Structure 1
């Protein structure tokens, strides 16, 4: 008897997925097309997200792209959440984790967060798949293990380090989602919602006197790129950790 999707999922978590494992196609086209594999599912899903955005990724849309029915997909994935876990795990597999260095731990943890951000930004909105999901994929857990090792090497209290990982990844997820949403607005034909910095400065200058600080510090409020703000926020979070110290 073939393993159930749940058994396949459990095997992936324990031993890693076998991308070559395939399921027989069902329906009149069965046998005339390439078999469905975990690798094919992941690759096709990423293609949909890259071209259409994460919101377009449904099991039905994925099945259509693979020229099969949803039932063929369920031979490999339990549900959409399982697919999400595979996608986030694949992105996490591309993160380079350094050997923890007490002298450079701050730079190292920022590098990991930046790599994760850049992975998410390759696929518009995909960081949404990481929200409210307990990490169980081995590749995802590998990143958490690496971040914990770096923070502990920096002298961070274990409990603070554990919660810091949650806070940092939550910020990276939210930041990446916001940037994806902003980029989508920029790509829309009705760009009335897109406001340039110059236009924002003009609007702030035209505010009534009941907004004295906003008017006075308009340049500061609108300064910097989104990545500048990303680096600033990471610095605030990391430097505020109990026992944290800057690179030596």
Structure 2
């Protein structure tokens, strides 16, 4: 016979209170979206997957986020959290632009496929406008004509996004190919180009070592240097025109 006593009569009717749920917020939704993105990738990220990650009904998300597009926008904006840019310095604008590019790539590396979200986003929301304005200030501080300065931000951002996306895609290919590292993958590609017939592909064969000898960091830095030197040539040309007294076209004046 059990020694356990029955519950008191007045306790039997008491309601069992469920543990309090953590309120659903935009921040929690974005956090969960990043978890899904890192685990499943861009193609499988959707409102249903985020709701499942949070343990809520899909309809609950729509009280905070209107659509998948808005979710992507919120994820993109999150990338700019705590990202401060220095005041434009005319003497060091090239270094500042290079530092900005490296920082952007590093932030895209924090999450799988984030570059795909970045490439499809328009950085003109209230949270990102101050950031964009400061970047344009870097180019103007370097003496770039307004026409070039206005386009330079898009050129740099496209390079950063494209480079990070390529890295992500090659990492996926590396895993699928069974290669243990990018270095091993690079050696395979290098051997392939070296074995091409030089009479048909003289330049590919001649440059095969050069194309694959550098790390991704080195390749990225070289790409940014090529872009910055190209931008600087516009500033030098504008300065030469001012020194000679030749006026620049209206749309190129800084």
Q: Smaller-chain TM-score range?
A: 0.7 to 0.9
The 5 A counterparts of 1:157-196 are 157-188=145-176, 190-191=178-179, 196=185
Larger Rg: 2
Does residue 194 of structure 2 align to residue 205 of structure 1? Answer: yes
Aligned to 2:45: 57
Number of aligned positions between the proteins: 215
1:102 is paired with a residue of what secondary structure? coil
Aligned to 1:233: 223
Task: Select which of 66, 85, 92 maps to 2:73.
Answer: 85
Aligned pair in 2 of structure 1 residues 217, 127: CA closer, same or farther (>3 Å)?
A: closer
RMSD across aligned C-alpha pairs, in angstroms? 2.3
Kindly provide the CA deviation profile for residues 171-225 of structure 1, in whole angstroms up to 9, marking residues without a partner as x: 1111111111112222336559x86233223222322232222222221122211
2:235 is paired with a residue of what secondary structure? coil
Task: Select which of 93, 100, 115 maps to 1:105.
Answer: 93
Instruction: For residue 126 of structure 1, report the CA deviation from its aligned partner.
Output: 1.1
2:43 is paired with a residue of what secondary structure? helix
Kindly provide the CA deviation profile for residues 47-93 of structure 1, in whole angstroms up to 9, marking residues without a partner as x: 22223323332111001101111211111112111111111111112
Task: Check the 8 A contact 2:105/2:161 in 1, yes or no.
Answer: yes
The 5 A counterparts of 1:139-150 are 139-150=127-138
Structure 2 CA distance, aligned partners of 1:189 and 1:178?
16
The 5 A counterparts of 1:42-53 are 42-53=30-41
Does residue 213 of structure 2 align to residue 220 of structure 1? Answer: no
Unaligned runs of 5+ in 2: 1-17, 238-254
Does residue 227 of structure 2 align to residue 243 of structure 1? Answer: no
Aligned to 1:116: 104
1:236 is paired with a residue of what secondary structure? helix
After TM superposition, the score normalised by the length of structure 1 is 0.79
Aligned to 1:96: 84
Task: Check the 8 A contact 2:101/2:160 in 1, yes or no.
Answer: yes
Unaligned runs of 5+ in 1: 1-29
Kindly provide the CA deviation profile for residues 6-57 of structure 1, in whole angstroms up to 9, marking residues without a partner as x: xxxxxxxxxxxxxxxxxxxxxxxx9952221011011111222223323332
Does residue 21 of structure 2 align to residue 33 of structure 1? Answer: yes
After TM superposition, the score normalised by the length of structure 2 is 0.77
